[in-house]
Amino acid sequence: AESNNTERFYCTVSEQIKGIPDGDRVLIIFVADTVEIGSEYIVLLNKVDETAIFYVMSSKSSVYPISDTESISVIKNALNDDHVTE
């Protein structure tokens, strides 16, 4: 059963930074009141398991408005960094 504190949306992917999603429209379960219909976001996602047909937010703070260029730049650099720091 779906909890009252979540919302499900089919989202159109305009740019894939790394890994998922598999297609250009994906079902994402968001924490309620995290996103607004018609707005654009960078979203960090997890797939619950390989058989799941939907994605979930990787954390409570994994949704960034497209206007937050500073955070998006940091995220893109981190995801594209092939170096491992120990």
Give residue 64's pLDDT.
94
* Mean pLDDT along residues 3-12: 86
Close Cβ partners of 47 (under 8 Å, ≥ 6 residues apart)? 20, 54, 55, 56
Strand segments, DSSP code E, in the chain are 6-12, 25-31, 41-43, 45-47, 55-57, 63-65
Is residue 78 pLDDT above 80, yes or no?
yes
List the alpha helices (DSSP H) in 1-86.
69-80
For residue 10, the tally of other CB atoms under 10 A from its CB is 9
pLDDT band at 86 (very low <50, low <70, confident <90, very high): very low
What predicted TM-score, i.e. pTM, was given to this entire model? 0.76
What pLDDT digit, counting tens, does each position of 23-75 carry? Answer: 688 899 999 999 999 999 999 888 888 898 899 998 888 999 999 999 989 88
Give residue 3's pLDDT.
54
